[in-house]
Structure 1
């Protein structure tokens, strides 16, 4: 049975979940969300463009907050 709350299929590849990657690398909120959207692109919906655009938004936000 699918567990869309605790372990959504679109956030898992093989034995790894996106949250594990984010935590292992200590990415924090903005970079973690960018990775999340990149890794789920084309998996949650057929068109990956929306997820990629959202990842870019988080990356730009990260740079803005750093003053870059």
Structure 2
């Protein structure tokens, strides 16, 4: 007759009444409708088309894992790239370099990420040296 049986836990999902969204147990089932005992203890007659099994309702009303969970797992490569957030202290590079003059901050940035952004740590170390030299030149000329 239907996918429902006496004793099934259900959610009223489509009934345009005051019990919409309420949960209960099927106490009677026949060709004309379903008698529910709602969780609050009251009885309610309705049509089977207005019900969803509670187990299916939980699945249908859960947020889509394929979207929200995957987005949450993705690293934020723009605002918080891993090569600047992986320091054991938990401090992010930008929180430090913002307190220094540009070239000094850039040198710190290259030292911080050496070998993390790419496997070529030597290039990052050379860029750090270059920025230190830029800062020395700036200071000598001011």
Instruction: Give the TM-score normalised by the residue count of structure 1.
Output: 0.89
Cα distance in 1, alignment partners of residues 81 and 105 from structure 2 = 16
- Structure 1 residues 1-68: aligned runs within 5 Å: 1-12=74-85, 13-14=87-88, 15-23=90-98, 26-67=99-140
Structure 1's unaligned 5+ residue stretches are none
Higher relative contact order (CA 8 A, sep 6+): 1
Q: Which has the higher strand share?
A: 2
Cα distance in 1, alignment partners of residues 101 and 80 from structure 2 = 20
Cα distance in 2, alignment partners of residues 61 and 22 from structure 1 = 16
Cα distance in 1, alignment partners of residues 106 and 120 from structure 2 = 18
Aligned alpha-carbon RMSD (Å): 1.3
Q: Which has the higher helix share?
A: 1
- Cα displacement string for residues 5-28 of structure 1 (whole angstroms, at most 9, x for unaligned residues): 0000001114211001123xx212
CA radius of gyration, larger in: 2
Structure 2's unaligned 5+ residue stretches are 1-73
Instruction: Give the TM-score normalised by the residue count of structure 2.
Output: 0.44
Moved over 6 A (4+): none
